[in-house]
Structures are given as C-alpha cells and as structure tokens.
C-alpha cells in the first residue's frame, strides 16, 4: 500500500514538473538535461569540437545536450544500463568502477579530453548521510579517473550530495584542480540534496 502511494506521488510530481514537460517538447530523454544546460549557461563549458566523456549517462539526456553542442567533437557515454544510440557517440555498457571498463574508455580516446562529466548516483536508501557518502565515493572515483586524461583547461563536472563527504570532495577537487565551484541548478528539485561540483584547470 505504502509503495503504491509513493509511486502515485512520484507520478503526480512528474506530471506537475515543468522540466519533465519541457524535456518532451525539446526531445530530451530526461529532465536532467536542464541541469547540464544551466551548468553550461553559468560556466560556458560546451562548444564545437570538444572530446567528452559522460559517466553514468543513461538514459542519455546529458549526452544528447553535449553532442548537440560539441557538434564535430567526440563523445563516449558509459552506463550500467543499455542506452538507445545517440548520434555517432561511442557507448560502453558496464560498471564504471571496474578497471576493465575504465581501460575500455581509454582505448576509445586519442589524446587528452576536454570534459569529463558524471551524473552517477547510487540507488538512494532514503538515509541522507549514507546516500551522500556512497554517491561521494562515485564522484571521487570519477575524479581520480579523469585527472590523468584531461587537457590543462578541461572541465570536470559531477553530481554530489550535501552531507558527510561534501567537504572532503571539495578538498579533493582543490588538490587536483586550480578552480573548484559548487552549483545547484534551479532545475534540481528543491527537496533534493544534490549539487554539482565543477572543476577546471588541472594542476
């Protein structure tokens, strides 16, 4: 009964959500596209010819926006779930935290990349601190992977949850990058603890 009520509440919330409606109009696969669009509007990240890695990409709305703005650039999308193809992007299905998947990503890039972005998050437990810590670990994993593959002025973008590991992640970012900012887009739901860390200029 409780599960049905939660499910019904979610459906009602989706119906009222302007970003869900807008995503259907604009042809994006999920409302999360608008978070990346807001990040781009603020930090001016995407332009033609970029090479981009999208971690935790499914269902693909970040990849859609990135490919649209990168035009002749290169995009590699990774997720546990299988995704519908997006343009001429390279898609890798598997667990990003496994070494063999990280090696496969590296095989598909030539030279350094311009953007590494991650919207990875664990399935939430509802216990805010545990969710924050587990998603924080994914962010750190992506950051460690990205730092050796990035051009000097490249951007690293990742979802983080406010909570136990927030300060630790920001400190980690400052260890690897000269510029570190935290940003919560308007399209991120008010009751969500998520923000995004935007790092630039590898040390």
In the chain, the percentage of residues whose pLDDT exceeds 90 is: 67
Q: CB of 190 within 8 A of CB of 17?
A: no
Q: Which tens digits make up the pLDDT trace of 4-29? A: 544 555 444 545 678 888 888 888 99
Question: What per-residue confidence (pLDDT) applies to 7?
Answer: 56
Residue 64 region by backbone torsions, left for phi larger than 0, else alpha for psi between -120 and 50, else beta? alpha
Q: Which domain holds residue 125?
A: 29-202
> Is residue 181 in some structural domain?
yes
Q: Which tens digits make up the pLDDT trace of 125-159? A: 566 666 677 788 899 999 999 999 999 999 999 99
> Is residue 8 in some structural domain?
no
Q: Please report which confidence band the pLDDT of residue 191 belongs to, taking 50, 70 and 90 as the band edges.
A: confident
In the chain, how many domains are there? 1
List phi, psi (to 5°) of 75.
Answer: -130, 130
Encode burial over 85-123: b for 16+ CB neighbours within 10 A, e otherwise. ebeebebbeeebeeeebbeebeeeeeeebbbbbbbbbee
> Is residue 6 in some structural domain?
no
> Is residue 64 in some structural domain?
yes
* Beta carbons within 10 angstroms of residue 172's beta carbon: 20
Residue 60 region by backbone torsions, left for phi larger than 0, else alpha for psi between -120 and 50, else beta? left
> Is residue 24 in some structural domain?
no
Q: Which residues are catalytic?
A: 159
> Is residue 185 in some structural domain?
yes
> Is residue 101 in some structural domain?
yes
Beta pairing partners, 202 = 177
The DSSP-derived string for 5-47 is: HHHHHHHHHHHH-HHHHHHHHHT-SSTTHHHHHHHHHHH----
Q: Which tens digits make up the pLDDT trace of 102-117? A: 999 999 998 999 999 9
Domain holding 145: CATH number?
Answer: 3.40.50.150
Peptide bond into 59 cis (omega under 30): yes
Residue closest to 90 by CA, chosen among 80, 101, 77 = 77
Question: Is 0.75 topped by the overall pTM?
Answer: yes
- Which of 73-77, 132-136, 197-201 shows the lowest mean pLDDT across its residues? 132-136
> Is residue 9 in some structural domain?
no
């Amino acid at each position: 009964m409780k599960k049905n009520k939660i499910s019904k509440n979610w459906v009602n919330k989706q119906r009222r959500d302007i970003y869900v409606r807008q995503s259907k109009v604009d042809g994006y696969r999920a409302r999360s596209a608008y978070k990346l669009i807001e990040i781009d509007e603020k930090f001016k990240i995407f332009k033609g010819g970029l090479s981009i890695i999208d971690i935790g990409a499914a269902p693909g709305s970040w990849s859609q926006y990135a490919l649209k703005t990168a035009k002749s650039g290169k995009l590699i999308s990774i997720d546990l779930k299988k995704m519908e193809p997006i343009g001429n992007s390279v898609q890798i299905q598997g667990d990003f935290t496994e070494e063999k998947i990280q090696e496969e990503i590296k095989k598909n890039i030539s030279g350094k990349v311009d953007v590494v972005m991650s919207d990875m998050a664990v399935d939430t437990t509802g216990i805010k601190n545990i969710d924050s810590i587990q998603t924080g670990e994914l962010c750190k994993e992506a950051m460690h992977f990205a730092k050796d593959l990035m051009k000097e002025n490249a951007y690293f973008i990742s979802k983080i949850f406010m909570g136990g590991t927030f300060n630790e992640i920001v400190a980690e970012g400052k260890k690897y990058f000269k510029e570190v900012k935290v940003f919560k887009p308007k399209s991120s739901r008010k009751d969500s603890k998520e923000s995004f860390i935007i790092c630039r200029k590898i040390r």
